[in-house]
């Protein structure tokens, strides 16, 4: 089985008679050689322009690849920048949470102490009002300290501050 080349890719053949100077009747001598040379040149030009189009297309694709790589590098740089910003924000938020927790604990402790002191003063004012006692600053300060110690002791034992009454502190103030 003989393989015959495709007509589009095959080189034009020359006629032996044209090469030897023989010609067909009605043709001028050498006309076939020139036609074969022109056909070969046309074929070569077509191939050259096809190759040129392929090279231009490849160059265009390479330029697009470069552009996309540059965009990808910029996107990665921006991602890294945002990742760094996010990490700093997370650290700041955690610090704020810690500060907030510490402030809340401090404020709760201060609030509890103020409630205890309020209860002490309320108990003392009720005691003084019930007993119709005269107010002396030095004696009042001494009584206040005793009642405060008693209220704190009762609180440590688990007794709610609001359940401590005037009767509970009367023995302290005798």
CA distance 51 to 11: 17
Determine the structural domain holding residue 145 and report its residue range. 16-173
> Residue 8: inside a domain, yes or no?
no
Q: What integer is the mean pLDDT of 21-50?
A: 76
Give whole-number Cα distances, 47 to 14, 38, 39, 54, in Å.
20, 14, 12, 10
DSSP 3: -
> Residue 112: inside a domain, yes or no?
yes
| Among candidate residues 79, 170, 82, the one with its CA nearest the CA of residue 133 | 170
DSSP 27: S
| Residue 156: HSE in the Cβ half-sphere, 13 Å Cα cutoff | 6
CA distance 87 to 85: 5
Assessment of whether the complete model's pTM goes beyond 0.85: no
> Residue 123: inside a domain, yes or no?
yes
Q: What is the pLDDT of residue 49?
A: 95
- Number of structural domains in the chain: 1
Res. 10 pLDDT band, cuts 50 70 90: low
> Residue 5: inside a domain, yes or no?
no
Whether 147 and 161 have beta carbons less than 8 Å apart is answered as no
Whether 166 and 127 have beta carbons less than 8 Å apart is answered as yes
> Residue 7: inside a domain, yes or no?
no
pLDDT, tens digit (0-9, with 9 covering 90-100), for 65-88: 999 999 999 999 999 999 999 999
Q: What integer is the mean pLDDT of 103-111?
A: 95
Q: What integer is the mean pLDDT of 134-151?
A: 83
Q: What integer is the mean pLDDT of 26-54?
A: 83
> Residue 54: inside a domain, yes or no?
yes
**17 has pLDDT over 50:** no
Q: What is the pLDDT of residue 74?
A: 97
CA distance 83 to 70: 20
Q: What integer is the mean pLDDT of 123-151?
A: 81
> Residue 2: inside a domain, yes or no?
no
CA atoms 150, 156, 162, 167: torsion sign: negative
> Residue 6: inside a domain, yes or no?
no
């Amino acid at each position: 089985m003989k393989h015959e080349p495709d007509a589009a890719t095959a080189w034009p053949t020359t006629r032996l008679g044209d090469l030897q100077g023989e010609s067909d009747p009605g043709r001028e001598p050498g006309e076939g050689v020139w036609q074969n040379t022109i056909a070969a040149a046309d074929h070569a030009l077509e191939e050259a322009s096809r190759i040129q189009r392929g090279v231009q297309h490849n160059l265009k694709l390479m330029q697009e690849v470069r552009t996309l790589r540059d965009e990808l590098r910029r996107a990665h740089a921006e991602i890294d920048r945002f990742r760094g910003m996010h990490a700093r924000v997370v650290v700041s938020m955690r610090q704020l949470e810690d500060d907030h927790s510490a402030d809340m604990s401090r404020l709760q402790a201060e609030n509890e102490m103020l409630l205890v002191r309020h209860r002490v003063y309320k108990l003392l004012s009720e005691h003084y009002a019930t007993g119709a006692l005269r107010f002396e600053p030095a004696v009042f300060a001494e009584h206040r300290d005793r009642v405060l110690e008693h209220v704190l002791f009762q609180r440590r034992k688990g007794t709610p501050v609001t359940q401590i009454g005037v009767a509970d502190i009367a023995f302290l103030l005798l």
